[in-house]
Every structure is written in structure tokens, then in C-alpha cells.
Amino acid sequence: MDGSFLTIDINSFITEPIAHEFMRKAILISILITSVCGLLSSFLTLKGWALMGDAVSHAVMPGVVVAYAIGVPLSVGAFVFGVGSVALIGFIKHKSRIKEDTVIGLVFTGFFALGIVLISKITSDIDLMHILYGTPLGIPLSDVKQTIFISFLVVLLLSIFRKDLMLYCFDPRHAKTIGINVSFLHYLLLTCLSLAAVVGLQAVGIVLVVAMLITPGATAYLLTDKFDELSIISVLSSIISSLIGIYLSYWLDIAPGGSIVLVQTFIFLFAFLFAPRYGIFKVKKLLSSSN
Amino acid sequence: MKSMEFEKYRIEAENICVDYNGKVALYDATLRLKAGQICGLVGMNGAGKTTFFNALTGFVNLSKGKIRINGETLKTSQKDQAVAYVPQNEGIDADFPVNVWDIVMMGRYGSMNIFRSPRESDIQAVKNAIERVDLVDYSFTPIGDLSGGQRKRTFLARAIAQRASILLLDEPFAGVDIRTEKLISELFLQFKNEGKTILLSTHDMIHVREFCDLVLLINKTVVAYGDTSEVFTPENITSTFGGMSPDFLFGPES
């Protein structure tokens, strides 16, 4: 009897939220956004671009505001400022004796501050809290179309150039030696990063989007020695996180962005402790992976 | 006339200069190598060995001078897969999620389509290359589980699969086991017979005497260059290493 009571409870736990149209939309859009970020995450982890991801995701903020003010798609503004910030980081690093991590910190906080100032001065239509903390529950339809378009674009680019990007992360000198255009790949990855940042910030906000770009890749990195599996695990853990995260946010009445990222963090901690080969407790593998 | 002259050489670097943000790393360096020659590149740390390799692979731009590979520009030679680079073990990210097969397949990327989907001929080339370096049993072993020598052989296999005519090897004998060392020296002889040209950097004086027809001693620029028997003298070595005696630098065995 207790069992049947529990079944009903779990059933309604799952079905009640998706009875609402806005929840269905939120779940689908979150899954899409986190999958794209998760896929990209597998490259960023290998390239060692976590800090770069942090920088770009913050630097897109003034771009979003300016784009809004002059009426162009937000992604265009985000893209210009995202790539611009990285170009500026490269320029300052090249022309001064300051170390790279300092330059990155300096540039992205500058851009971020500019974004906050612009919001307070130019337009009051953009909700600062919305940009900072995101909300997958309230994305307007025009943004949904844009998000879907950008998401597919990023997935397409990462799929076409998948092996080249892998080689670029692993051994850029070999790539260059055999005539592969390394700077094209550099800017391609950067472009995808900027685009992912702009779709990601809608779901979890600027402050937390970097988590979606780092955490799934790091989790997968602890679980596999194969590149393809790395991407698959990264995307899967992103999807699971957004599902659980949204449900928790519904039932516990907590912020969805924070909820999604927190689930990702817990999955990472689980891998960190119990990953078969690289976890702290090194749970023994039953099957050898070397086939 | 000029291009006729180039064709005789696999590598022709003429008065090349490289600087990083105004800091000179290499200046007025000239090197000419023909098919089947093995040349040792010897110098201190920071003497410009890596920079020399970087210049030949197109990884840095020259501030002066020019490079011809098989008589062609660097861009053309890259498209032709003419040059293969075998990195130092320290230069490899051993935690990267790839196995031996993946790495050797990277040698074929340059001649594949944009998706880098392997054809039957690519698969065959990778198989053969792995056989030649004696790693068949380790084909699907992640790079992190390999020994230093096995890693070195993996990257040699990549160069073989690439079918490059010129091999640049950064410290090929550093940190490898006896078996790998023997295998590498056998491969060198095979490469020589196939008409490949090899430029290798090394810290080990014995290896220079053993394998290298020619030696290039550098210290930001060329200190001495020529046949190993003529150029590889204690005096030249001492001046390459800034006045320190080779005994002091390399121990009594040299």
C-alpha cells in the first residue's frame, strides 16, 4: 500500500510540472542549451580554456546591451564583444609584460563593468537580474527561435571540424605542419564559445554560464580515455543536470539556473570520488576498457 | 636557374632570423640538407633548436631569410605533407583522451577530406606504421598508459603514416628504453635508404657520432656546420656551449 502511494507520488512528481506549457518549454530549451554547452565543454576542457570561457561569457554582456539598444540580434552583439575581448586579451598580453591570467581577469571584468553601466544608463527594458542569473522559464518566443538556430549552428560547426579541433587541442604544431589552418580553428572555437555563452546566459545567466562550459567536460574527463566518449558523457551529464535541475527548481521553488549548475557540480563530485580510474576511491573496473 | 638549384635540396634554410616580440631567438642561420642525409642539431637549452624546428614547420614566422622545402615554399610543402615533426615527450599532453591508433591516424589528416574520415588506404597506412614501430599490441592503449619509449614510437609511427620526406625529431633518444633506442636507430637507417632527410636535436654526443652524417652546432646562430667527422670537434663543441667543456656538460662518457 505504501508502495502504490509512492508510485503515485513519483508519477505526479514527474508529470505535474510538464502539465504546464511554460515548464515543457523550459525543459526542452534547457536541454538544448546545456547540450550545446556540454558538447563545447569537451573541447574547452582539453584546450585548457576554462578561464577563457569565464572571460568570454562575462565579456559578452555589453554586447547584449548594445545589440538590444540598436535593435540587432543579441547574438550578434555578444559575438562581437566575445571575440573582441579575446583579441584584446591577446593584444595586451603581446604588448606588455603582464601575465596572461592577469590580462584575462583584467579585460573581462572591464567588459562586465561596462555592461552593467550600459544597462543602468541606456536601457531599463533589460532586466539586469535576468541577464545575471537567467531564467529558462521566461525566454520569449523570438529568443527561442534564435536559441535553436544558434544551437544548431554551433553543433554543426563542432561536428564538421570535430577531428581538426581535437588535433588543434592535442598538438597544434602537427596541425600546422600538415597544412591545417590553425588560426582558423582558434577563431572557430572562440566563435562557438561566444555563441554558446549567449544562448547559455538565457538559461542560467552570465554568472553561471561558465559552469555549463566547464563542469560537464571536467566530469567526463574523469570518466574516460576516449575522445568520443568524452563528448557523449559531457552532453549526457548536461542533459541529466538540466532535467533534474528544472524539476528541483519547480518542486523546491528555487532558482532554476543555480539549481541546474548545482546538479552539475554534484555529478562532478560524484565522478571525482568514484570514477573507476581517476576518482579518489578508484572503484575497480569490472571490465577492462582495452579491447 | 635558382629553382634548379633548390631542387637538389630537401631542406634549404637561408639566413633565417626569428624573433619573439623583438627578442632574437635565432639569426643568420643557414642549413642545406639533401635526400638521405641525417643531421644532428646540437646546442644549449635556449640556443634556438626548438625555434629552428618551429621555423621549418611554419609554426613561427621568419623576420628575415627564406626556407625552401623540396624546392617549394613552406605553404606548398605543408600541403604536400612533406615535413613531419616528432615532438619531445615533455611536449605531449599525456592525459589527452586518445590512443595510439588515434595519434597515428592524425598523420593522415592532411590528405583526408574535411571530415577526416579515413579511407581504406589510410587505415592500411596506419596499420603498417604501427607495425613498423612494433606497437601492434598497444594499438588501442590510451597514450597515458604508455611508457616514454612507447610514446616516442607512437609519434614516429605518425610521421611514417604521414609519408613525409623530411623528419624533424626533437630529442628522439631522451627518456627512452634500450629497445626503443635500438628500434629508432634501425628506422633511421631504413629512412635513409628510402631517401628521407632527418634533422634531429640531441643532447647525447654519442648519438651524434653514431647516426649523423652532418652536424649543425648552434648558439642563436650557426657556430659550425658540416660533416660530423670534421665539425664535431671538442673545440667547436666547447664554443657552442659557451666555453664550458663537453665533459662537464655531458659527463665523462662523451
Cα separation, B232 vs B225, in Å, equals 9
Query: Which residues of chain A have a CB within 8 Å of the CB of B142?
Result: 225-226
| Percentage above 70 pLDDT, chain A | 91
Query: Which residues of chain B have a CB within 8 Å of the CB of A167?
Result: 106, 109
Q: Which of A46, A167, A179 sits opposite B78 (nearest CB)?
A: A179
Which three cell numbers mark A257?
539556473
The predicted pLDDT at position B247 comes to: 52
Cα separation, B136 vs B140, in Å, equals 9
Domain spans of chain A, in order of start: 209-279
Contact between chains at A224 and B116 (C-beta distance less than 8 A): no
Contact between chains at B97 and A225 (C-beta distance less than 8 A): yes
Chain B: give the shortest CA distance to residue A170, in Å: 7
Query: Which residues of chain A have a CB within 8 Å of the CB of B170?
Result: none
The yes-or-no verdict on residue B253 having pLDDT over 70 is no
Q: CB-side exposure of A224: number of CA atoms within 13 Å?
A: 18
Region A118-138: mean pLDDT is 75
The predicted pLDDT at position B7 comes to: 52
The backbone region for B147, taken as left when phi is positive above 0, alpha when psi lies in -120 to 50, beta otherwise, is beta
Look over chain B and give the mean of its residue pLDDT values, rounded to a whole number.
89
The predicted pLDDT at position B244 comes to: 64
Residue among A150, A138, A267, A281 nearest A203 (CA)? A138
Chain B: give the shortest CA distance to residue A279, in Å: 14
Cα separation, A75 vs A270, in Å, equals 35
Give the bridge partners for A146, in sequence order: none
Region A227-231: mean pLDDT is 96
Query: Which residues of chain B have a CB within 8 Å of the CB of A291?
Result: 140
Q: Which of B78, B85, B116 sits opposite A163 (nearest CB)?
A: B116
The predicted pLDDT at position B239 comes to: 83
Q: Quick one: angle between helices A100-121 and A74-95, nearest 10?
A: 140
Q: How large is the greatest C-alpha to C-alpha distance in chain B, in angstroms?
A: 55
Contact between chains at B96 and A173 (C-beta distance less than 8 A): no
C-alpha distance across the termini of chain A, in Å: 48
The predicted pLDDT at position B241 comes to: 83
Measure the CA angle with vertex A210, ends A209 and A215; round to 5°: 110
Element (H, E) at A83: helix A74-95
**By the 8 A CB rule, do A26 and A17 touch?**
no
Query: Which residues of chain B have a CB within 8 Å of the CB of A169?
Result: 96
Cα separation, A71 vs A191, in Å, equals 21
Question: A136-140, A182-186, B8-12, B115-119 — which is least confidently predicted?
Answer: A136-140
Q: Which residues of B156-167 are buried (b: 16+ CB within 10 A; e: fewer)?
A: bbbbbbbbbbbb
Contact between chains at B85 and A177 (C-beta distance less than 8 A): yes
Chain A: give the shortest CA distance to residue B99, in Å: 8
Residue among B101, B100, B26 nearest B62 (CA)? B26
Residue A186: burial class (beta carbons within 10 Å; 0-12, 13-18, 19+): middle
Q: Which residues of A touch B (CB under 8 A)?
A: 46, 94, 160-164, 166-167, 169-171, 173-180, 221, 224-227, 229-230, 290-291
The yes-or-no verdict on residue A121 having pLDDT over 50 is yes
Give the global pTM: 0.89
Q: CB-side exposure of A263: number of CA atoms within 13 Å?
A: 22
Q: Which of A177, A180, A291 sits opposite B140 (nearest CB)?
A: A291
Cα separation, B204 vs B223, in Å, equals 18
Q: Which of A179, A224, A225 sits opposite B79 (nearest CB)?
A: A179
Hey, what amino acid is at A66?
V
- CA A59, distance to chain mean position in Å, is 14
Q: pLDDT tens digits, residue range A16-73?
A: 888 888 888 889 999 999 999 999 999 999 999 999 999 999 998 899 889 888 888 8
Q: Which of A164, A224, A290 sits opposite B116 (nearest CB)?
A: A164
Query: Which residues of chain A have a CB within 8 Å of the CB of B97?
Result: 46, 221, 224-227, 229-230
User: What are the angstrom distances between the C-alpha of A66 and each of A60, A109, B128, B147?
Assistant: 10, 17, 57, 54
- Please count the residues of chain B: 254
Q: pLDDT band for position A287 (50/70/90)?
A: very low
Q: pLDDT tens digits, residue range A136-178?
A: 776 776 678 888 999 999 999 999 999 999 999 999 999 999 9
Which backbone phi and psi does B10 adopt, to 5 degrees? Answer: -75, -50
Query: Which residues of chain A have a CB within 8 Å of the CB of B93?
Result: 170
Q: pLDDT band for position A1 (50/70/90)?
A: very low
Give the bridge partners for B16, in sequence order: B29
The predicted pLDDT at position A64 comes to: 85
Q: Which residues of B touch A (CB under 8 A)?
A: 21, 54, 57-59, 75, 78-79, 81, 83-85, 87, 92-93, 96-99, 102, 106-107, 109-110, 114-116, 140-142, 144-145, 158, 162
Hey, what amino acid is at A289?
S
Q: pLDDT band for position B218 (50/70/90)?
A: very high
Higher per-residue confidence, A289 vs B13? B13
Cα separation, B202 vs B169, in Å, equals 9
Domain spans of chain B, in order of start: 1-82+167-180+189-254, 88-163
Looking at chain B, which runs of residues are DSSP E strands?
A: 11-20, 23-33, 38-42, 64-69, 83-86, 166-170, 197-201, 214-218, 222-227
Question: Considering the domain B1-82+167-180+189-254 in this protein, what is its CATH number?
Answer: 3.40.50.300
Look over chain A and give the mean of its residue pLDDT values, rounded to a whole number.
87
The yes-or-no verdict on residue B30 having pLDDT over 70 is yes
Torsion over CA: B116, B118, B122, B128 (sign): positive
The yes-or-no verdict on residue B254 having pLDDT over 90 is no
Q: How many CB pairs under 8 A join A and B?
A: 76
| Percentage above 90 pLDDT, chain A | 55
Higher per-residue confidence, A206 vs B167? B167
Q: pLDDT tens digits, residue range B164-208?
A: 999 999 999 988 899 999 999 999 999 999 999 999 998 888 888
In the 8-state DSSP scheme, what is residue A136? G
Q: pLDDT band for position B1 (50/70/90)?
A: very low
